[in-house]
Amino acid sequence: MPIDPTTPAASATQQESTLRRLLGGMSVFTLLMTIPQVLTIWLGHEAAGVSVASWSAYLLSAVLWFWYGIQKRDKNIYLPCVGWIGLDSAVILGALIYG
């Protein structure tokens, strides 16, 4: 039996689907917005003003979210964390080398 779109359950399901798509899009967007920082450090050898402490906190957060996403078996949580772990690590390593 199909879900009646006028019922509250159908509305909640549609809102959740919309939110998941929005969150997925924002994950990609924020990852892409971090790439210039990585390129500045690694290609330009310029890490002035980059806080290793801040990026380490971001890395710790990404690792914890990754672990949580794996436990929940939610790829919308753990897949972006793979990208964040890579980018955060690249920024930290570059800041240590070129900072």
* Confidence bin at 12 (pLDDT 50/70/90): confident
SS3 content of the chain, % helix, strand, coil (to 5): 85, 0, 15
Q: What is 73-87 written as a DSSP string?
A: T-HHHHHHHHHHHHH
Instruction: List Cβ neighbours of 91 (8 Å cut-off, separation of 6 or more).
Output: 34, 37, 38, 41, 50, 55
CATH number listed for the domain at residues 27-98? 1.20.1280.290
pLDDT tens digits, residue range 29-88? 999 999 999 999 999 999 999 999 999 999 999 999 999 999 999 998 999 999 999 999
